[in-house]
Amino acid sequence: MGGDKPEECREEGKVVPGYTQTLADIDPGVKAGELLEEGRIHDAVAQFERLLRMPGRESEGWNGLGVCRYSTGQVEKAAECFERALEADERNLDALLNLCAALRELGRLREARALAESALAAFPRDAGIFLELASICEEEGDWRGAEEAYREALDDDPLRLEALLRMTAILVSTRRLDEALELARSCADAYGFLAEAMNNLGVVLEVMGKTGEAEECYHRALALNPSSSEAFDNLVALLVEDGRHAQALRVHDHALEVSDNPRFLVEKARFLLCCDCPAESLACLEEVVAREPMNFDAWHERAIIFARHGLFDNAAACFRRCVEINPNHADSWFNLGGIEGALGRTGEAINAYNMALGLEPGNAEAWRNLGVVLAAAGKNREAAEAYRRSIELDPGKPEPVFNLAVIRDGEGAGEEAAELYERFLELAPERYCEQAGHARARVLALKGGEQGKQRTLFR
C-alpha cells in the first residue's frame, strides 16, 4: 500500500533502510554486558559462548562466563572460567582480578595472594591489583601488608575512593587517629557528595570522641543517600549509646518515610526488641514478610523472638523458613536443631544438627548438642562419637566430657569412664556441684570395681 512505512528488518551483511543498527546488535560482548546489567544471566551466557567461537575473543568469553557463574553463586566454576580466560590471554587484567576475588572468596588466600603479587610484574602500577592484594592481606590478618598495598594504590590514584576508605579504617584500627582524620577529611573534600565519604569522616570523629560532629556527618550522609545502611547504623548506635532512644526511634521512622528498603523495617524491629517491645517488633516483621515473603532477616528475627518467649513451635516454623530461603545458613540449622530438641523431636533435631555440621564441621557446640539428641534417641555409639569430636575441637568444655563418661560408664568401660570423670572434675565450675558429686562417687566406685551406674546427661 502506498502509505506503508518501510519494513524494519535486518539482512545478513547490510543495514536495511528503516532499521538503525547498534553496537550491541553486532558485538556479542557488548550485548552480553547489557544483558548482565539487566539481570538476564541465561541470555548473557549465550552471548559469551558466541565469543568462545570467535578467534581472538576466547579470553573475553571465558571471563564473561566466569562473571555469570559468580553472579549466581557458583564461585568454584567461576574460578575455573577465569583460569581458562588467562590461559587464552595471560594479560587479561579483568580475568586476573576476577580470579583473585574468586580465590579469596573460596578461602584460597595463599593462591590469591601469589596471583596478585605475580600480576604486579605484568602491571606494576595498577591500582586495581593493589586494591585486590590489600583485600587479601586484610583477610589474612596481615595489616601491614594491607596498608602498604593501599598506599601503593593511592600513589597510583590519590583519589581512589575504595583505597581512601579502607586506609582510613586501618589507621583507626591502629589508633593513628590524627592521620586517619586528615585522610578522612581529604576524602570528604573530594567526595563530599557521596554518603560513603561523610560516613567515613563521622566514624573517625566518633572514635576521637567528637560525637557532635560525628552525628552531623551521619545526618549529612543520610541526606545524600537515605538508603545508606552504614550511616543509618552508626547514627542509631550513637544515639542509643547517648541514651537518646526516642530520637533513635525517630531516625528509624524517618528512614522508612524516605526509603522503601525493608532492611530499615527489620532494623526498627531489632531496635524495638532491644527496647523490650516484642509485640511491636513482631508487627514490623510481619509487615516485612507480607511485602517480601523471602526476606531471610525478617524470618530469622521472628524465630529469635518466638524462641525467647518459649513459643517453640512458631520458632521452629520460622527457622525452617530460614533454611528454605538460605540452605547454607549454618546458624539457622543449629538453632532449628535446638528448638526441635526442646520439642522432643529428636529425629528432626539430629537432621538439623547434621546439616549445620555439614556447613561448619568445626562447631564444637553443635557436635555436643548432636550427641545429646543422639543419646536421647538411644543411639549411644553415635552420641559418643559426637562427644569425642566436640572434645577434640574444644577440650576445655566440661559438658561433653561428663556426657561421654556417662555413656562409657553405662557400656562397662570402667577405666575410660573413670578417666573422663576425673577430667570433668578438673574442668567443672562450681555450679556443676550435682554432676561433680556423681563424678566423684563414680570414680571411687569404678576404681573399686563397680560398673555401669547410669546418670542423666547434660542437656
- Residue 228 phi/psi, 5-degree rounding, is -70, 100
Cβ atoms of 420 and 450 closer than 8 Å: no
- What nine digits make up the cell of 217? 556527618
Could you identify the residue written with the cell 525517630? 250
- Please give the pLDDT value at position 455: 55
Q: Does the pLDDT at position 6 exceed 80?
A: no
All three cell numbers of 177: 587517629
Instruction: State the greatest distance between any 2 C-alpha atoms of the chain, in Å, as a whole number.
Output: 114
Q: Place 14 in a pLDDT band, splitting at 50, 70 and 90.
A: very low
Q: For residue 88, which of 126, 44, 55, 49 has the smallest C-alpha distance?
A: 55
pLDDT digits (tens, 9 = 90+) for 360-375: 999 999 999 999 999 9
What is the total residue count of the chain? 459
The per-residue pLDDT for 20 is 45
Contact 159, 190 (CB under 8 A): yes
Q: Which of 213, 212, 222 is nearest to 255 (CA)?
A: 222
N-to-C CA span, the chain: 87
Q: How do residues 316-342 score in pLDDT, each as one tens digit?
A: 999 999 999 999 999 999 999 999 999
Cell numbers standing for residue 304: 529469635
Q: Is pLDDT at 256 greater than 80 in this prediction?
A: yes
SS3 assignment, position 10: strand
459 vs 296, more confident? 296
Take residue 271 and report the three cell numbers written for it.
531496635
When pLDDT is averaged across residues 88-108 and rounded to a whole number, the result is 93
Chain segment 150-182, per-residue pLDDT in tens? 999 998 889 899 999 999 999 999 999 999 999
Domains recognised in the chain with CATH numbers: 24-106 (1.25.40.10), 327-391 (1.25.40.10), 396-459 (no CATH)
Give the integer Cα–Cα distance in Å for 205 and 217.
Answer: 9
Q: In the structure grid, which three cell numbers stand for residue 196, read together?
A: 560513603
Q: How far apart are CA 388 and CA 31, in angstroms?
A: 56
- pLDDT bracket for residue 378 (50, 70, 90): very high
Separation CA 168–CA 196 (nearest Å): 12
Distance CA 123, CA 13 (A): 39
Q: Is the pLDDT of residue 18 over 80?
A: no
Separation between Cα atoms, residue 12 and residue 22, nearest integer Å: 15
Assign 304 to helix, strand or coil: helix
Name the pLDDT band for 37 (thresholds 50, 70, 90): confident
Phi, psi of 118 (to 5 degrees): -70, -30
pTM over 0.85: no
SS3 368: helix
Matching residue, cell 540449622: 333
Inter-axis angle of helices 161-173 and 177-190, to 10 degrees? 160
